[in-house]
Structure 1
Amino acid sequence: MSMTVLQVHGDTTRPDIESSWARSRLNGVRRDALPPFDLVTRTSESNLARAANPVLRRVAGELEGTQVALVLTDHVGQLVDIHGAARSMRHAIGDLGLVPGVQLGEDRIGTNALGTPLETRRSLLVRADEHYLTVFRGFTCYGHPIFHPVTRRLEGVLGIGSKTGADYRLSSLLARRMVRDIEERLQRDSPRAQSRLMSAFQAAVGRRGRAVVVIGEGLVLATPAAVDLLEPADHAAVRACAESVPIGSQESHELALTSGREVRLVCTPIDGADGVLVDITQESVVRRGNSLSAQAPRWPLLIVGEAGSGRTTEAHTVAGPGATTLDATDVVLAGESVWAAQLGEALWGNGPAVVVENIQLLSPQLTALLAQRLRETTRNVVLTSTPGEHLDEIHAVVPALCNDRRELIPLRRRRHEVPGLAQQILTDVAGHTRTRFTAETMRILASQPWRGNLAELRRVVEVVAAVRSAGDIIPADLPASHRGGQPPGSPIREAEREVIMAAIEAAGGNKLQAARALGVSRSTLYNRIRALRIG
């Protein structure tokens, strides 16, 4: 079907349509489906709406009685307002369910002149049969993105639509004129907080050659020294560090840049503004990776980490080549007696190190046997486990016998490492460097909760590598489940989220039991689940 589009319209915009149709298919949008329009509660009037309304009203007056409609969406694709158009055009729009509050993202309704420019950040003409959903093929529409002139943040999209057959040749000229007027009004109405960010930045760059970055809501300022030092992946890592700083305190982070240099980031919140000043100084020592394995272990060694956090990789790196591996998950298939015999054989006599995986799955009997074998063996032994109370209760005897213990930090608590890890995994998976993540894609990746840690990150990168084999990887290339990046919450909200998730997991998914265990009502728990976006 996409080839038909290219054959019918052979101009320079058609590859954009083809790519958009491919994304629509990947998002599971059905061409014959009705738009899944669910009204979203609208917040108070935004800066975009305040700047755009006078422009929309003025032009709508000039177009009164014509078959042309002016449509405005915000930066997430929510329809903000519709202006102009003759009565028949308004009825046609209303019959489609297009009212303020509905979502027009490409991932929901496929190729369209409002959602697709949000994905590509470029203007686009969508002719009648180029709409992905059949119900929209009675219209030809042009969409032009609106960028804040100060922050360069994508604020929304202005769309001009008409019924098929109407003259759309002047749509691009009209849209550009209107967007220019809207952006000028946005600049005049720029909030005072951004002025504070600018003042803080100017005060910090007094010393020549200083690498400084100021990160605020929709605003990033950087000195030439910082621009020269940081690659796109590094920008996303610096942002992740800045967003993790609690209000009213200063934090310091060490970061290995894409170039291999190690830097120290001193992150200081800016008074009176939602922003952070990051001072970057280069360290003399280059850090080699994030693994703890360079440290000489004391045996037996216990490695504790969440699922997907790299327990197995760390264990085998420490154990060295030729290590023997036993996994407690095999008890289910082999039976306790067979597994016990394998354990005794692996730990008997001299030989290479032994890795015992997933001790959290061992029964009390096998735990006691493992403890006995650890007392007797002369082998170097590495054990792996998930964190939890079981290490202080049913399996407490094993950690007590270990002379060393390493805790692997969950990926969500080291967000600044996500950009570098993602690019490294992409190179490993793709086998070449013809693709790379854009800074915006890196930012979205760094903001994900990563409940599955490194394993989840690898799966996402593998999906991306299968979709894009060359060029920049934009947010639209990410799986739909990992596009909605939000700035990370405060440490308190993150802690609350983890407590609730742990209670639900302990209750086997029963939220009523989880609410009782937490000492709250079921309605309170559901409210917190929605507020914290717990799946």
Structure 2
Amino acid sequence: MLEAIQSADGHAAVRPAGWPALSIQKAHERSKTFGLCASARPDYDVLSNTGLTLKREQNSVLCAHAMPVMETLHEQIINTQSMIVLTNAEGLILYSIGDDDFLERAEKVALRAGANWAEDRQGTNAIGTALAEGCPMVVHGEEHYLVANRFLTCSSVPIFDPCGNVVGVLDVTGDHRSYHPHTLALAKMSVQMIENHLFTTAFQETLQVSFHGRAEFLGTLMEGIVAFTNDGRFLSANRSAQFQLGMPLAALRAHTLSSLFQLTSTQLIDRARASHEPHITLSLSNGAVVRARVQFRRAPLGGAQRLADTHVSEEPVARAVVAQPVAHAVVAQSAAGLSRLAYLDTGDAQVASVITKVRKVSGKDIPILITGETGTGKELLANAIHNDSPRRDGPFVAVNCASIPETLIESELFGYEEGAFTGARRKGAVGKVLQANGGTLFLDEIGDMPYPLQVRLLRVLQERLVNPLGSTRTIAVDIAIICATHRDLRELIAQHRFRDDLYYRLNGLVVRLPPLRERTDLSIVIQKMLQRESATRTGAQPLSVAPDVMALFTRCTWPGNFRQLGNLLRTAAAMVDDDGEIRREHLPEDFFEDLSGDGVQEPAAPAPRAADALIAQGERLQDVAASVIAAALARHGGNVSAVARSLGVSRNTIYRKMSTVTHNQTPDDA
């Protein structure tokens, strides 16, 4: 069904019935007050690259969460003569993606990154009008105030942060002749995804209740999410929660956990703990009955999100959660995808064998000991084992035994009571073992644990009982144990630095992660790492590696393993050009020092032929190398780094050969 309205210049514009005609009319009136002329050339003042970069940095959180959603939305509407636009709260376009042919047309009206589409610049348009009205908006064809924009139909949805503030707009724009009424619905769903991501980022140290009237909608965009402090004070609620509770965010701020769900935080946790099902039943203040999941979210440590916090002891609700098992209720927040065994299986036979073994012992209370060089991904594997185990809904608590001072490691592991020692925090502290209750305790670098403490750890592992320092209480714990080390524990046992009884308690299953130089899946690993880096290069070409650089990567021994590779790729990603290809000039100089050897590597044209000629004349091999290096230095104007790259050797090799030549020179040579 269609209806007609008057456009700015008196022409009738046809639009689907139900669209907010009044909002369009009000927008046209505002456009007139801005002094805009419908037939005038629009304001095409576009930010410089420097200015745009600054705006993107100022909105980095929004961009990080919006860009993956935009990519997904683009896949749904590809080849429809359309584009997707993300703006900030002022209507400035931060990023745009879409069909190439339509992007060219949009360029003519400055519908691109760096342009501002607020109403005072462009008159009535979906982006500016959605910001002005604070609600989703479709502006179709001749409804645009400016004639120049009337070949467009735009569907815009404001993006709200968890505090209820507008932080931007997601817009889908296309040719007005090919508009589909479902476009706005897709944009709304996409914005809901972005807002839920922002919600999760904003509220880490919180008690969260996810709920819906139907259990099958939990975990979907339809679920309501409400965040509370540990004592039940209201923090925020997503759009779905506001709808189900029947109140806007401003009204919800006057409520608490008790007034909304008829339970105190302690009662809620007790009910979740007693439940043997994934969901519990709650009653809303309006009488509705819903199914719910209860989560205590902790801030992520390092790259992976997990339940672990040194300050947990000062939060009584947090202590109740981590000190006792809560089946299916307290969910450890893990870095999705990165910390699953399937993600780690990238084609290397040694890694595949490790994954097969750990899957067979999953959930069978068999301790796992992961060995391997530093940087081979031992903690990532441990996290993946946890996330694929029956304990995935419990906490994953990591302790690096080498990074905690020997005088503190006992209190860090087992906790302490108030006044247990000088400097102890008021109310004491919950140790890492208790924090891991119901989940997995990962003891990294177990070979560096102080010898006197090993006997106490052994007792805890055998009896599953913990005595905090300064306490007479004994607390039962239920934990899975994963350990890791780069050391040879048997050698440490021989040196009386590691207890043999603890060793045999920990090595239920021993697996070894191969170093990067031994793996056969380097190219796949690099591809996956670049995919993650590409996600931060919003609006640019995906990252790739030039063939000659990939050849260098396969030659490198990678002494730092994944840490070294990750840092190198991250640096290169920051250096690449718009085409996204990583080339030799984008690599840090110290990488070339790790490539290989002590001698000059072939091929190095035209050096081989010069070397052959010298050898034929009976020259010594070291003289051949010196001559090749001297020639290369002359070609590169004395730039040692450039010479090292051209010959495929380290700078140290060049300096060493140069010093050898100087040392061996006779007075006549000098």
* TM-score range for the pair, normalised by the shorter chain length: 0.3 to 0.5
Please report the TM-score for the alignment, with normalisation by the length of structure 1. 0.36
Please report the TM-score for the alignment, with normalisation by the length of structure 2. 0.29
